[in-house]
Amino acid sequence: MTDAKSVLVVGLDPTLIDFSDPGYPPGMSAEKVFAGINSSEAELTDLGYNVQTCLTDFGETAETVVQRKLEQQPWDCVMIGAGVRLNPANFTLFEKLVNVVHEYAPQAKMCFNQLPADTAAAERREATRKRWRMSITETASRRSGPCCRRRSRA
Protein backbone atom coordinates (compact mmCIF):
# COMPACT_ATOMS: atom_id res chain seq x y z
CA MET A 1 0.00 0.00 0.00
CA THR A 2 1.29 3.44 -0.85
CA ASP A 3 1.01 6.66 1.12
CA ALA A 4 1.04 8.73 -2.06
CA LYS A 5 -1.79 11.22 -2.31
CA SER A 6 -4.15 10.45 -5.17
CA VAL A 7 -5.07 13.17 -7.64
CA LEU A 8 -7.69 12.86 -10.35
CA VAL A 9 -7.41 15.43 -13.13
CA VAL A 10 -10.69 15.81 -15.03
CA GLY A 11 -10.73 17.63 -18.34
CA LEU A 12 -12.17 17.78 -21.80
CA ASP A 13 -10.69 15.48 -24.40
CA PRO A 14 -8.57 17.97 -26.38
CA THR A 15 -9.33 16.21 -29.67
CA LEU A 16 -12.99 17.26 -29.26
CA ILE A 17 -12.29 20.97 -28.67
CA ASP A 18 -12.66 23.64 -31.34
CA PHE A 19 -9.78 25.88 -30.29
CA SER A 20 -10.97 28.66 -32.61
CA ASP A 21 -13.84 29.21 -30.14
CA PRO A 22 -13.15 32.50 -28.33
CA GLY A 23 -13.77 30.76 -24.98
CA TYR A 24 -10.38 29.05 -25.22
CA PRO A 25 -6.97 30.73 -24.94
CA PRO A 26 -5.59 32.03 -28.24
CA GLY A 27 -2.94 29.80 -29.76
CA MET A 28 -4.00 26.71 -27.78
CA SER A 29 -4.18 23.36 -29.59
CA ALA A 30 -4.84 19.72 -28.74
CA GLU A 31 -1.10 19.06 -28.97
CA LYS A 32 -0.32 21.83 -26.46
CA VAL A 33 -3.02 20.56 -24.08
CA PHE A 34 -1.68 16.99 -24.26
CA ALA A 35 1.86 18.27 -23.69
CA GLY A 36 0.68 20.23 -20.63
CA ILE A 37 -1.21 17.22 -19.26
CA ASN A 38 1.83 14.95 -19.72
CA SER A 39 4.17 17.50 -18.16
CA SER A 40 1.90 18.02 -15.15
CA GLU A 41 1.41 14.27 -14.65
CA ALA A 42 5.18 13.77 -14.68
CA GLU A 43 5.75 16.67 -12.26
CA LEU A 44 3.09 15.43 -9.82
CA THR A 45 4.45 11.89 -10.01
CA ASP A 46 7.97 13.21 -9.28
CA LEU A 47 6.51 15.02 -6.25
CA GLY A 48 5.15 11.70 -4.97
CA TYR A 49 1.52 11.92 -6.08
CA ASN A 50 -0.48 9.13 -7.69
CA VAL A 51 -2.07 11.06 -10.55
CA GLN A 52 -4.54 9.92 -13.17
CA THR A 53 -6.24 11.88 -15.92
CA CYS A 54 -9.88 11.43 -16.89
CA LEU A 55 -10.82 13.00 -20.23
CA THR A 56 -14.48 13.60 -21.07
CA ASP A 57 -16.71 14.79 -23.84
CA PHE A 58 -18.86 17.93 -23.60
CA GLY A 59 -21.59 16.27 -21.58
CA GLU A 60 -23.05 13.32 -23.44
CA THR A 61 -21.18 10.83 -21.24
CA ALA A 62 -19.03 13.11 -19.07
CA GLU A 63 -20.88 12.58 -15.77
CA THR A 64 -20.86 8.79 -16.14
CA VAL A 65 -17.19 8.68 -17.15
CA VAL A 66 -16.16 10.79 -14.14
CA GLN A 67 -18.45 8.88 -11.77
CA ARG A 68 -16.91 5.55 -12.81
CA LYS A 69 -13.41 6.92 -12.32
CA LEU A 70 -14.31 8.29 -8.88
CA GLU A 71 -15.72 4.91 -7.86
CA GLN A 72 -12.46 3.10 -8.68
CA GLN A 73 -10.61 4.34 -5.58
CA PRO A 74 -10.69 7.04 -2.90
CA TRP A 75 -9.27 10.32 -4.18
CA ASP A 76 -7.48 12.91 -2.05
CA CYS A 77 -7.86 15.68 -4.60
CA VAL A 78 -9.87 16.20 -7.78
CA MET A 79 -9.12 18.92 -10.26
CA ILE A 80 -11.55 20.02 -12.94
CA GLY A 81 -9.52 21.63 -15.68
CA ALA A 82 -9.69 25.13 -17.05
CA GLY A 83 -11.14 23.97 -20.38
CA VAL A 84 -14.29 22.95 -18.53
CA ARG A 85 -14.39 25.85 -16.07
CA LEU A 86 -13.31 28.94 -17.97
CA ASN A 87 -15.33 28.72 -21.17
CA PRO A 88 -18.81 30.09 -20.45
CA ALA A 89 -20.28 27.60 -22.95
CA ASN A 90 -19.20 24.79 -20.58
CA PHE A 91 -20.77 26.24 -17.42
CA THR A 92 -23.49 23.56 -17.15
CA LEU A 93 -20.92 20.79 -17.66
CA PHE A 94 -18.74 22.30 -14.92
CA GLU A 95 -21.71 22.44 -12.55
CA LYS A 96 -22.62 18.81 -13.27
CA LEU A 97 -19.05 17.60 -12.76
CA VAL A 98 -18.69 19.47 -9.44
CA ASN A 99 -21.86 17.74 -8.24
CA VAL A 100 -20.58 14.32 -9.37
CA VAL A 101 -17.34 14.90 -7.45
CA HIS A 102 -19.29 16.07 -4.41
CA GLU A 103 -21.45 12.94 -4.48
CA TYR A 104 -18.86 10.27 -5.30
CA ALA A 105 -15.74 11.73 -3.65
CA PRO A 106 -16.98 13.92 -0.80
CA GLN A 107 -13.67 13.53 1.04
CA ALA A 108 -11.65 14.92 -1.88
CA LYS A 109 -10.32 18.44 -1.91
CA MET A 110 -10.76 20.32 -5.15
CA CYS A 111 -8.18 22.44 -6.90
CA PHE A 112 -8.23 24.32 -10.18
CA ASN A 113 -5.68 25.16 -12.83
CA GLN A 114 -5.55 27.95 -15.39
CA LEU A 115 -3.75 26.01 -18.12
CA PRO A 116 -2.87 22.32 -18.54
CA ALA A 117 0.77 23.05 -17.66
CA ASP A 118 0.00 24.51 -14.21
CA THR A 119 -1.89 21.51 -12.82
CA ALA A 120 0.96 20.61 -10.45
CA ALA A 121 1.05 24.18 -9.14
CA ALA A 122 -2.69 23.98 -8.39
CA GLU A 123 -2.22 20.77 -6.39
CA ARG A 124 0.74 22.25 -4.51
CA ARG A 125 -1.46 25.24 -3.55
CA GLU A 126 -4.01 22.85 -2.05
CA ALA A 127 -1.30 20.89 -0.23
CA THR A 128 0.17 24.15 1.12
CA ARG A 129 -3.25 25.30 2.38
CA LYS A 130 -3.69 21.97 4.16
CA ARG A 131 -0.25 22.21 5.83
CA TRP A 132 -0.99 25.81 6.83
CA ARG A 133 -4.34 24.85 8.38
CA MET A 134 -2.67 21.97 10.22
CA SER A 135 0.04 24.26 11.60
CA ILE A 136 -2.59 26.76 12.78
CA THR A 137 -4.51 23.95 14.52
CA GLU A 138 -1.33 22.61 16.15
CA THR A 139 -0.37 26.11 17.34
CA ALA A 140 -3.85 26.66 18.77
CA SER A 141 -3.77 23.35 20.63
CA ARG A 142 -0.37 24.19 22.16
CA ARG A 143 -1.76 27.52 23.36
CA SER A 144 -4.66 25.88 25.13
CA GLY A 145 -2.46 24.53 27.93
CA PRO A 146 -2.91 25.69 31.55
CA CYS A 147 -0.40 28.50 31.28
CA CYS A 148 -2.32 30.12 28.44
CA ARG A 149 -5.85 29.97 29.82
CA ARG A 150 -7.46 33.11 31.04
CA ARG A 151 -7.57 33.41 34.74
CA SER A 152 -10.82 34.44 36.31
CA ARG A 153 -10.80 37.65 38.20
CA ALA A 154 -12.13 37.53 41.69
Ordered per-residue pLDDT tens for the chain, 154 residues: 457 899 999 999 999 999 999 999 999 999 999 999 999 999 999 999 999 999 999 999 999 999 999 999 999 999 999 999 999 999 999 999 999 999 999 999 999 888 777 788 888 777 766 554 443 344 344 444 444 444 444 4
CA-to-CA distance for 105 and 102, rounded, in angstroms? 6
Residue type, 73: Q
Mind giving me the DSSP string for 51-108?
EEEEEE-SSSSHHHHHHHHHHTS--SEEEE-HHHHTSGGGHHHHHHHHHHHHHH-TT-
**CA dist list (Å): 90 to 37, 134, 140:** 20, 35, 42
What gap in Å lies between CA 62 and CA 57, rounded to an integer?
Answer: 6
Sorted by where each starts, the structural domains of the chain and their CATH numbers stand as 6-144 (3.40.50)
Asked if 62 and 45 count as a contact pair (C-beta separation under 8 A), the reply is no
* Per-residue pLDDT, 130: 58
CB atoms within 10 A of CB 60: 9
Determine the pLDDT at residue 52: 96
pLDDT score recorded for residue 148: 40
- Tell me, what amino acid is at 139? T
**pLDDT attached to residue 132:** 40
The answer to whether the beta carbons of residues 6 and 77 sit under 8 Å apart is yes
Amino acid at 12: L
